[in-house]
Structure 1
Amino acid sequence: MSERTATATRFDRRLLPPMLLGSVLNPINSTIISVALIPIGRALGAPPSETAWLVSALYLATSLGQPVMGRLIDLFGPRRLFLAGTTLVGLAGVLGTFAPNMEVLIASRVLLGFGTCAGYPASMALLRSESRRTGEDNPNGVLTALAVANQTIAVVGPLLGGLLIGVGGWRATFALNVPLAAAAVLLGLLRLPKHTGDSPERGNLAARLDLPGMGLFAAMLVSLLLFLMNLHLRNGYLLVITVAAGAAFGVRELRAASPFIDLRVLGGNTPLLATYARAVVAYVVAYSFLYGFSQWTEEGFGLSAFHAGLVQIPMFVTAIGVSLVAGRRRGVRGKLLVGAVGQIAACLVMLTLGGESPLWMLLLVALIFGVPQGLNNLALQNAVYFQADPERTASSAGLLRTFAYVGSMIASATTAISFGDRADTGGMHELAWVMLAAGVLYLLVTLFDRTLGRVRAPGTD
């Protein structure tokens, strides 16, 4: 085989830097805020029930934006959407850095949510196109590299946040987005292919995008997430809107020539639907721990933001090691089962913690949580890649993130309800019981899904 032919059958490694950086912009902003919530609340005079909106605003925007951006990438290719999204991240970073009040800070998180939507589906679309070019289902284990990068950032985020707060205050956690976005834009301009995707005529652009479908999807999702953030009988009208918008969305998508979400294909793909369901409950546990446990270690246990980040170092080390080892093994069912057991074990230990607990017990909880942190995202990502319609890889990947963010919104709402005005030990225990129930459900959904045995990641032994 000639050198040119060998090169043509290998994954283009020049794509890796923008793929990795673009895909981690969302998890870094999702996790770095966890240790900044208490300092922000103190600076702006806001209790945990209000600062929870800094979490929810990002996920509300991202839950809506991920499938929309994924559909646009499926149609037009990743380059333009990647550049637009990362530019928006930089602008949001500037807005958050100089925000004078909570309202502007929340607005900056909304912009961050929309801006970070492009990175992950763009990476999945590039991976699919490279798979077609090289003939490899998983070129050089890039799926594992993406998962490890996301896990690394997700777990190191609190530690990085603590360091930034210690050096420059909580505003430094927003300013970080400016250099990250600049680097992503530069890498996108230099490395991403210019001619990918379709170039539909202006006349059929609206039909290809299915704007009515997107609008109904937005109404359904926003009303649902707002209800989750304001759980009360007086807000029951939001559930009525959710059901009505969902019904209208279903009718629209079944009739549309080019649907935003092809419900016929999705409805016939039971394994993919089960994966999405697992994502919801997995992220209820993961993000309840990330936000709830971090706030409790600061306010209920008395650690500084910096030391609260240090407590999560065992989770960082464990998650990376587990991802690297598990990424070389075929199949996803075993990863999901071990991840479920790890979540349950960590929740049980959380129920034993109190303000007088020794520090090593906090480190133990973080260590145990590193196992599901390293396994679940990797397994869910691999499952979607091999279960999804190849022509809708980006939008299917975007939907995975949407379902994950629904789980994170439930986690945020549960955390706000459990803690109220103060992140004390009683509230942490209430949160742990909810997490335990979600972890058990995750285990059951995985145990009874026999289709997972057929999902195998080739080329990863």
Structure 2
Amino acid sequence: MADQDGAAVPRTARSSRSSWTIAALCSGTALSALNSGMIAVSLSTLRREFAVDVATVTWVISAFYLTSAVLQPLMGLLADRYGPRRVFTTGMCIVILAGLLGPFSPSLEWLCAARVILAVGTATTFPSAAAMLRSISAGTGGSAPKMIGRIQLIDTSTAAIGPVVGGLLLVLVGWEAIFWINVPLAMIAIVGTSILAPRDAPRDHVPLRSTLAESDVPGILAFSITIIALLMFLLEVTSDPNWLLLAAAILTAGLFVWRELRCATPFIDLRLLAANVPLVRVYVTFILANLVLYSALFGIPQYLEDHAGFSTAAVGALLVPLAAFNIFMTPVVERLIDRRGLRTALVIGSAGLAVATLGLIALAGSTAPWVVLLVTAAIGIPYVVVLIAITQSLYVAAPPDRVGEAAGLFQTARSLGCIGSTVVVGVSFASGTEPGDWLLLAGITAALAVLVFVVVVFWRTRDVALR
């Protein structure tokens, strides 16, 4: 085997280089998850800083994930067309810009704008990394599905470590530090990928303005308006529902479907999805699984801080078990998949997740640290199983020549799950963060976990690779 300059590279050196390359990619892909974890413990602080309620402060999360949901498929297209390493590096430069602007936000609206810029940058990373994996795999002999599974696993681990990092930054520096930290981390990602990631293969020159002109702007707008209108309706559904917002969401959703079925280069290729049921199942399962995880991740900190009086730093530490077992579970889950298949792993993981979420109810009776640690660990362990299995399923189900686009849609599914979790939290805590309000959140989250299990068990496909 030869390196990029044609020199022979020993097998051990190829393996080592592969590991370092994945680490370099993760230094960028993990930024989205890190910011999710840090913002989770910042919500109460931001509510006080900008004098807003629970439903309003959730826009800090929703603006980020709405931008990610819209841009992930487009970034996958750009990575396939212009080269994944180039797109990845550009995204990191945008992250640096957001990290420099965010701390100076004078209002929540400006803060949301900075989060939108941050989302633009981080949206480039996962589709670009996924598009590079076949080149990395070809040069090292490694398994691309396992590589993408490990990237997703590291990202999720970072989301759970994020509250610890965010808690420390809030206590030691202030909320501004959750933006500052992106600057050095993005710089590390730029340097690492420049040295280690495979060079982009030669491509026909296509002006960026031509690509943007060909982009499905009407489809993107219809999708965005649908999500925003639905989100605004759901956040107000328990107090003063605006039925015009629901009507607008239904109308624009219909226009979106009409547009995508007639567009030569659709924002979301509905025909591709219709022809690939296993891929659709991957996306639906991932949306629901993220609804479960992030409802807990965004709900627990506010409940513990507001109701139980925990400090921000303490809350961050109590969320660590959501990912503490990842490193130990990964080889176990990979062996399970190798021996029994993806579907078996998904069934085991989703069943465990459904049972574990019932433990959330216990927090209504006790917020003792040991109870919180047990509950978060119980959710984190089966989620790892689901995450690894569903991410490998993506690589199996995606067309080989459209991996970047499929990975972009995969992250869109994650973003939709995160957006949905803000609705769960906002609706549950609409009247406060007392045990009764927590029981509502816990019940909704448990019901969603049961739905994940139902989808996995009863939605069969004809693709034996996913069985």
Deviates more, 1:277-286 or 1:142-151: 142-151
1:234 Cα offset (Å): 5.1
User: Paired residue for 2:58, among 44, 47, 52?
Assistant: 52
SS at 1:4's partner residue?
coil
Deviations 1:136-188 (A, max 9, x none): 6537x422431331132021111111122222122222211111122222233
User: Paired residue for 2:414, among 392, 404, 429?
Assistant: 404
User: Paired residue for 1:317, among 313, 324, 334?
Assistant: 324
1:101 Cα offset (Å): 2.1
1:44 Cα offset (Å): 2.5
What corresponds to 1:263 in structure 2?
270
Structure 1 vs Structure 2 CA RMSD:
2.8
What corresponds to 2:83 in structure 1?
77
SS at 2:362's partner residue?
coil
What corresponds to 2:8 in structure 1?
4
Instruction: Answer whether contact 2:285 2:455 (CA < 8 A) is retained.
Output: yes
What corresponds to 2:291 in structure 1?
284
Deviates more, 1:302-311 or 1:80-89: 80-89
User: Paired residue for 2:446, among 425, 429, 436?
Assistant: 436
CA distance in 2, matches of 1:176, 1:18: 17
User: Paired residue for 1:164, among 125, 144, 169?
Assistant: 169
Instruction: Answer whether contact 1:418 1:430 (CA < 8 A) is retained.
Output: yes
Question: Which residue identity does 2:75 align to in structure 1?
Answer: M
Deviations 1:328-354 (A, max 9, x none): 432322332232223222322221223
CA distance in 2, matches of 1:231, 1:323: 40
What corresponds to 2:74 in structure 1?
68
Question: Which residue identity does 1:294 align to in structure 2?
Answer: P
1:274 Cα offset (Å): 1.3
Instruction: Answer whether contact 1:147 1:381 (CA < 8 A) is retained.
Output: yes
Instruction: Answer whether contact 1:49 1:421 (CA < 8 A) is retained.
Output: no
Q: TM-score, normalised by structure 2?
A: 0.88
Decide whether aligned partners of structure 1 residues 132 and 209 sit closer, same or farther in structure 2, where only a CA change above 3 A counts. farther
Listed as ranges, the matches of 1:214-363 within 5 Å are 214-231=220-237, 235-330=242-337, 331-354=341-364, 356-363=366-373
SS at 1:455's partner residue?
helix
Decide whether aligned partners of structure 1 residues 449 and 131 sit closer, same or farther in structure 2, where only a CA change above 3 A counts. farther
Listed as ranges, the matches of 1:90-239 within 5 Å are 90-131=96-137, 137-138=143-144, 141-196=146-201, 198-202=203-207, 205=211, 209-231=215-237, 235-239=242-246
SS at 1:247's partner residue?
helix
Structure 1: gaps spanning 5 or more residues: none
Instruction: Answer whether contact 1:280 1:404 (CA < 8 A) is retained.
Output: yes
1:280 Cα offset (Å): 1.7
Question: Which residue identity does 1:314 align to in structure 2?
Answer: P
Instruction: Answer whether contact 2:343 2:466 (CA < 8 A) is retained.
Output: no
1:423 Cα offset (Å): 2.2
What corresponds to 1:374 in structure 2?
384
Deviations 1:218-237 (A, max 9, x none): 44444444444444775333
Deviates more, 1:89-98 or 1:416-425: 416-425
1:454 maps onto 2:460 in alignment = no
Instruction: Answer whether contact 2:227 2:249 (CA < 8 A) is retained.
Output: yes
Deviates more, 1:226-235 or 1:374-383: 226-235
SS at 2:433's partner residue?
coil
Decide whether aligned partners of structure 1 residues 47 and 453 sit closer, same or farther in structure 2, where only a CA change above 3 A counts. same
Decide whether aligned partners of structure 1 residues 205 and 416 sit closer, same or farther in structure 2, where only a CA change above 3 A counts. closer
Deviates more, 1:237-246 or 1:148-157: 237-246
Decide whether aligned partners of structure 1 residues 355 and 441 sit closer, same or farther in structure 2, where only a CA change above 3 A counts. closer
Q: TM-score, normalised by structure 1?
A: 0.90
Structure 2: gaps spanning 5 or more residues: none
Deviations 1:177-234 (A, max 9, x none): 1111222222333334443373344496457544444444444444444444444775
1:69 Cα offset (Å): 0.9
CA distance in 2, matches of 1:452, 1:10: 36
SS at 1:199's partner residue?
coil
1:10 Cα offset (Å): 5.2
Q: How many corresponding residue pairs?
A: 456
Decide whether aligned partners of structure 1 residues 208 and 21 sit closer, same or farther in structure 2, where only a CA change above 3 A counts. same
CA distance in 1, matches of 2:303, 2:116: 25
SS at 2:200's partner residue?
coil
CA distance in 1, matches of 2:415, 2:10: 40
